[in-house]
Amino acid sequence: APPARRRLRPGLLPAAEPVLFLATVSVVLQGPLTTQYLWDRLGAERGYHGHSSSGSAGCGNSSAAADPLRQEVEALVSHWNLYINLGGFFVCLFSVTLFGPWSDSVGRRPALILSTAGIALQTSIYLLVIYLELHVAYLLLGRLLSGLSGDYNLVLASCFAYVAETSDRRARTFRVAILEACLGIAGMLASIGGGQWRKAQGYINPFWLAFAASLAATLYAAFCLRESVKQRRPARLFTLSHYKAVYRLYMAPEHPSSRWKLALYSLAFFLLVTVHFGAKDLFVLYELGFPLCWASDLIGYGSAANYLAYLSSLGGLRLLQLCLEDSWVAEIALISNIAGLVVISLATTTALMFTGYGILFLSMAATPVIRSKLSKLVSETEQGALFASVACVQGLCSLVATGVFNSLYPVTLHFMRGFPFLFGAIILLIPAAIIGWIQIWDSKHDYNNFQDPPSPAKD
């Protein structure tokens, strides 16, 4: 059996938040910029002159909605997003489940260094594509190379495992929420800065900032971050035992009652994050198209408003925890998410679109609750394997979201542009039912134990 690990107090070591913050800045900068770059490149190749930076020519009239060339460009951009995310997922699926359990033995820092360096490599390839005007297929190559090193999912897995090892059970939900709030702050700054910078100077300089942020994250993890795994031991990297560690979490947990809770919470997490990813993938295209016809600066503000939900959710979570169980906080967050997506699906004006973003103010409070509950179902020596499996679920979310939402969007353009958002709102009813049912079951179980406490002999 592995030696017991001594929990570190959070104040004794530098936090993992800067790594996540810098990596998120890099990834968020690249997301909308890559979509707009694909729009401009593919549109130019087909003689379409409605650019993402200024809105399309004639976008303000109803004839633009039926422009077949514009719809062809929209469909092509959507499909290239699908190819890039699909390729990244399949590579990342195997690398994250390898590096996550491996980090339980060798430590979190090697995994963080590897994954952030991979993001830097991806960004450098994107820069080469822009400088040399290479075929857009090279964007897929950059994503594949990043996936081999764990990609952004390994950054998330390692940072959340780091927080789980340096926080007590009572404060874990809020600590996870703070980590997720870093996603919001980084996303908000990168969205506003990226949109304005793209409009003023083009693609090159924002992508250089993305490269610098990922390189800074690598250097911080290598030289500033102290290791959270104290009882480190050598471990082979390429071995099936790492995959078996993930398998044992669900098939042979320490406590048999944890199996079905792990499965149900993972399903709720999968559906919730799938809707988040799917909606995020489409926001830029939805805002570029008729009748919104947003320019690059408005797209940046819209992305910032979306990421602002991380901060408002953090404050809302802290307040609601004073009077409610974590599960009921998650239920309120899901109601916020569902209502916001319904409004966005019907948005035909800029004001209504931002109203939808405003209603999403608590939408991100559900994911830290689920992550915290998952981490409490496994031992401290399995946190890396757990969050590697969560990262795989998150990668699967990216695949399914890109496949479903990016495929659904082109085929529903002719009758309801916002239908994918309405579809996502309906899907979120399922995790709301799962979380509520588990909380009710746990409450009844605790009540029965209180009524009929076990004898000392059975303890």
The class (CATH top level) of 15-229+255-444 is mainly alpha
Q: Is the pLDDT of residue 205 over 80?
A: yes
**pLDDT number for residue 339:** 96
Q: Is the pLDDT of residue 310 over 70?
A: yes
Q: How far apart are CA 127 and CA 341, in angstroms?
A: 34
For 115, residues 6+ apart whose C-beta sits below 8 A from its C-beta are: 23, 99, 149, 150, 151, 152, 154, 155, 158
pLDDT (tens digit per residue) in 236-261? 666 666 566 677 777 765 666 677 88
Judge contact between 66 and 290, C-beta under 8 A. Answer: no
**pLDDT number for residue 444:** 75
**pLDDT number for residue 55:** 46
- Asked which of 195-199, 209-213, 348-352, 453-457 is least confident by mean pLDDT, the reply is 453-457
pLDDT (tens digit per residue) in 294-303? 887 788 788 7
Q: Is the pLDDT of residue 354 over 80?
A: yes
Q: Between 200 and 179, whose confidence is greater?
A: 179
**pLDDT number for residue 242:** 58
Side-chain-side CA neighbours of 435 within 13 Å: the count stands at 30
**pLDDT number for residue 245:** 67
For 425, the token pair is 């709102």
- Asked which of 159-163, 242-246, 317-321 is least confident by mean pLDDT, the reply is 242-246
**pLDDT number for residue 275:** 95
**pLDDT number for residue 165:** 81
Q: Is the pLDDT of residue 52 over 60?
A: no
CA 75 from chain centre, in angstroms, equals 24
Q: Between 414 and 278, whose confidence is greater?
A: 278
Q: Is the pLDDT of residue 65 over 60?
A: no
Q: Is the pLDDT of residue 2 over 60?
A: no
pLDDT (tens digit per residue) in 72-131? 887 888 788 878 877 887 888 888 888 888 887 788 889 999 999 999 999 999 999 989
> Nearest 5 degrees, angle CA 23-CA 242-CA 276?
40
Mean pLDDT of the chain: 82
Q: Is the pLDDT of residue 378 over 90?
A: no
pLDDT (tens digit per residue) in 171-191? 888 888 888 888 778 877 887
How far apart, in Å, are the Cα atoms of 151 and each of 78, 93, 191, 303?
Answer: 21, 10, 20, 22
**pLDDT number for residue 366:** 94
Please state, as a whole number, how many other Cβ atoms lie within 10 Å of the Cβ of residue 114.
21
**pLDDT number for residue 451:** 54
The alpha carbon dihedral of 95, 77, 403, 417 has a sign of: positive
Q: How far apart are CA 198 and CA 205, in angstroms?
A: 8
Closest CA to 156 of 325, 313, 23, 337: 23
Q: Between 235 and 282, whose confidence is greater?
A: 282
**pLDDT number for residue 238:** 65
- pTM of the model as a whole: 0.76
Average pLDDT, stretch 385-407?
Answer: 82
Q: Between 389 and 243, whose confidence is greater?
A: 389
Burial 396-435 (b: 16+ CB within 10 A, else e): bbbbbbbebbbebbbeebeeebbebbbbbbebbebbbebb
Average pLDDT, stretch 373-391?
Answer: 81
Residue length of the chain? 459
pLDDT (tens digit per residue) in 9-46? 443 456 888 999 999 999 988 887 888 888 888 888 87
Q: How far apart are CA 20 and CA 8, in angstroms?
A: 20
For 202, residues 6+ apart whose C-beta sits below 8 A from its C-beta are: none
Within 7-67, where are the H helices?
A: 17-45
Judge contact between 198 and 190, C-beta under 8 A. Answer: no
**pLDDT number for residue 437:** 93
Q: How far apart are CA 74 and CA 76, in angstroms?
A: 6
The residue ranges of every structural domain in the chain are 15-229+255-444
Helix (H) or strand (E) holding 403: helix 383-412
